[in-house]
Amino acid sequence: MRRREFIAGLASVAAIPLSRAFAGQNDRVRRVDVLLAAATENDPYNEARLAALTDALRGLGWIDGRNLKLVVHRMTANAGEIRKLVTELLSSRPDVVVSGGNTTTGTVLQATNTVPVVFTTAVDPVGAGYVESLAQPGGNATGFMQFDFNLSGKWLELLKQIAPTITRAGVIRDPATSSGIGQFAVIQSVASSVGIDVVPISPRDETELENGVTRITRSPNAGLIAAVGATVTVHRDLILKLAAQYRLPTVYANRTFVDKGGLISYGSDFIASSRLAAGYVDRILKGEKPADLPVQAPTRYELVVNLKTAKALGLEIPSTVLARADEVIE
């Protein structure tokens, strides 16, 4: 009797669908850590990026507080602070880390070669050593590029189009990152073709940034370019203030500057890339490997113009530029 009961019990277990047999394993709460450098809770732009990621994950069935623990880390662009934070979060054994650009991605990948990393705005991930190739990343990281380096040259061309008299431009970029160095190199390579002398400006601290901009203004017909980088973004308000104070035509790498009063921007849509990153997080949580998920480049760039600022600077934006604009702020 006992033998028959035992066999019957085995049969009943065998009849349980595999999906139910492994339900406990598949239903465990997954942890995803998100790194936002140069971000505060009152920054609507970074919060919009976070909301895009969260909403997209929810649409894919990952609900924070139910089957997902989403841990958001807002930090300055200080390298020491980022290293300390990364060490702490990795000790919590996250299932996936979502990083931003080069400021956070490089630090995470120096600390781990096993935890999956999805970057949302990396610049030149192959050159930076994050992946082996765009098509076959090969390691524990993949994600989305912010732009191709060639875009950097277009910022200088755009500056010449909107302010043809400019002969000297300061380029605010981070000299401590490969992306900052690469952006300036490309801008410098096209400088002679548009007749503009370019000078690098470091944003390591407010004093160095302000001194650099002040030196540029000693030359007649000067302008600015604010390149991509967390150390550039963290000084956004000061850059906008200096550009207005010295009446400098300025091209920015992303629209958050223009939304807050800057003149013109040309770059990728960071919010869209955050939304797309959720798809890769979903696939990794379901078992796919970052090594097999190709790095994706932006499919379009957006041009945003602030006509109110142009008027304050005494500039008339060419109709050809306005015709190409994705958005014009009156």
pLDDT in tens, 60-100: 999 999 999 999 998 877 888 899 999 999 999 999 999 98
> How is residue 279 written in tokens?
């798809």
Calpha distance 100→96 (Å, rounded): 13
Using DSSP's 3-state secondary structure scheme, residue 146 falls into strand
pLDDT band at residue 172 using 50, 70 and 90 as cut-offs: very high
Please report the domains of the chain, with CATH numbers, ordered by start residue.
27-146+270-292 (3.40.50.2300), 150-268+302-329 (3.40.50.2300)
Give the pTM.
0.81
Concatenated DSSP letters for 75-101?
A: E-S-HHHHHHHHHHHHTT--SEEEE-S
Calpha distance 118→268 (Å, rounded): 17
Say what the pLDDT of residue 7 is: 39
Model confidence at 14: pLDDT above 60:
no
Concatenated DSSP letters for 283-313?
A: HHHTT--GGGS--B--S--EEEEEHHHHHHT
pLDDT in tens, 20-51: 333 343 568 999 999 988 666 677 778 888 99
* Pairing outcome for strands 264-267 and 302-306: antiparallel
Long-range CB contacts (within 8 A, 24+) of 205-209: 206/235, 206/238, 209/172, 209/235, 209/238, 209/239, 209/242
Say what the pLDDT of residue 25 is: 38
Residue with tokens 């973004």: 233
pLDDT in tens, 215-267: 999 999 999 999 988 889 889 999 999 999 999 999 999 898 999 999 999 99
Average pLDDT over residues 117-131: 92
Average pLDDT over residues 281-306: 95
Residue with tokens 């930076």: 128
Say what the pLDDT of residue 178 is: 82
Model confidence at 1: pLDDT above 60:
no
Strands (E), the chain: 30-37, 68-75, 96-99, 117-123, 141-147, 168-172, 197-201, 222-226, 250-252, 264-267, 302-306, 327-329
